[in-house]
Amino acid sequence: MRDIAVTLAVFGSLPFILRRPWIGILVWTWLGFMNPHRMAWGFSTTMPFALIVALTTLLAMLFSKEEKRIPWERETVILVLFVGWMFITTIFAVYPGLAWVQFDKVIKIQLMILVAMMLITTPGRLKLLVWTIALSLAFYGVKGGIFTILHGGVFRVQGPPGTFIGGNNEIGLALAMTIPLLYFLARSIDRKWLRSGIYAATVLTALGAIGTQSRGALLGMAAMSLMFWLKSRQKFLVALLAAASALAVVQIMPEAWYERMHTIQSYEEDKSAMGRVNAWWMAFNLAKDRPLGGGFETFQRGMFALYAPDPTNARDVHSVYFEVLGEHGFVGLGLFLLLAVLTWRSADAVAHAVRTVPERAWMGDLAKMVQASLIAYLSAGAFLGMAYFDYYYNLVLIVVIMKAILRREGVLGDAKVRRARDASPAPGCSMPIGPVPDRSAAARARAG
């Protein structure tokens, strides 16, 4: 039944995508984040649903009469440069057979990010995209939270197998990143019963993230929670939700969980943690020796034998920063970090620009929650190898779309400067250019 349901849902969406290509982005996002076909047991688990939706979306774009242009914000430029650099490092990869397979996965994600920039062009479409991302992962958050409560936190919450979020560390990071977006959605809803439901989903998602027993996710949750509170306009409500989540953790999680989390402070005694440090040194030494890095999938035993302090301890790198450093060198790492910094600054610019635009105030709230999600990714990502996680690039996408919309509306950037310039006095004039105000009424009033 699950196979049939997913297949009908995907193929049933294709006619709508052909008429409105932007719907294809929503379906692609749903498939990429929720991976519904991975919860089936039959033929749908191997069906190339994402490819079918992507091709249909691209075909629909060709016949669509809507204007299609990439918003060349500074984040877009850096993203394209980063993808181009990854292409170069793949050409010179140490393990080309493995590297090209990974590059194929990465380029598909980045291509659809660029397509989304061209198709998600209105505030309504942007809101639907945020709903799709948040609810796709909230499904696992609510499910994981309930699972944690029912089993007293004894078992780890896992994601759908064979996906970006299949492991406990990966799903933990994804859930931590989703909490701010769920809060944003709850605050934007007028119906109290639905708002209460989203708040409940937020708390359960937090419990689900804790239930993964991922130390990286815990660090991400801690950093995100602080930024979440600082950026929120409803600080008392956020503190109340955090207190409810913390109380639930105290009541539910077993002693074994506390012992595992305590190892964060004594990482020198943890073989897994020291293995990661060994891999980080390998990445650093490799990048010094090879300016292009080793290319995708470079963390193999042969490279550890050449560059690692302990050549016998070959492990996954478990860090977005050292993953990019080892695979794409210092230039790649610089582009990766620059993209994050510019996205953060642009989110600040969006929040500042809409302060005096009531109908776009929700964009300011969304920009702040995107920043909280970024903090979750960048902090937990220090201990997780998810440099190419599409969630991160979708956060960049959201900020770029908001900037493009506000720029078209004259709220942000050059359009605003032009409006101010047009209203300013010309050189040598003491009055602004434009219609001369009628002062006769004021004169008559003074004359009495």
Mean pLDDT, rounded, for 67-75: 93
How far apart, in whole angstroms, are the C-alpha atoms of residue 120 and residue 129?
8
* Least-confidence region, from 217-221, 277-281, 405-409: 217-221
pLDDT digits (tens, 9 = 90+) for 109-126: 999 999 999 999 999 999
How far apart, in whole angstroms, are the C-alpha atoms of residue 340 and residue 156?
30
pLDDT digits (tens, 9 = 90+) for 160-196: 888 888 888 899 999 999 999 999 999 888 888 899 9
Alpha helices in 155-312 (DSSP H): 168-187, 192-211, 215-231, 235-252, 255-262, 271-289, 301-307
Contact at 8 Å (CB) between 115 and 61?
yes
Amino acid, single-letter form, for residue 443: A
Instruction: Determine the 3-state secondary structure of 71 from DSSP.
Output: coil
Residue 392 CB partners (closer than 8 Å, separation 6+): 374, 377, 381, 386
pLDDT at 140 (0 to 100)? 94
pLDDT digits (tens, 9 = 90+) for 196-217: 999 999 989 988 988 888 888 8
pLDDT digits (tens, 9 = 90+) for 231-264: 777 777 777 777 777 777 776 777 666 666 666 5
Amino acid, single-letter form, for residue 150: L
| Structure tokens, 6 | 């997913």
Q: What 8-state DSSP symbol labels residue 359?
A: G
pLDDT digits (tens, 9 = 90+) for 263-279: 655 444 455 677 888 99
Q: How many CA atoms lie within 13 A of 70 on its CB side?
A: 15
How far apart, in whole angstroms, are the C-alpha atoms of residue 178 and residue 133?
8
What is the pLDDT confidence band of residue 3, given thresholds at 50, 70 and 90?
confident
pTM (two decimals): 0.86
370 φ, ψ to 5°? -60, -40
| Structure tokens, 273 | 């943690």
How far apart, in whole angstroms, are the C-alpha atoms of residue 57 and residue 250?
47
Mean of per-residue pLDDT scores for the chain: 86
pLDDT at 384 (0 to 100)? 87
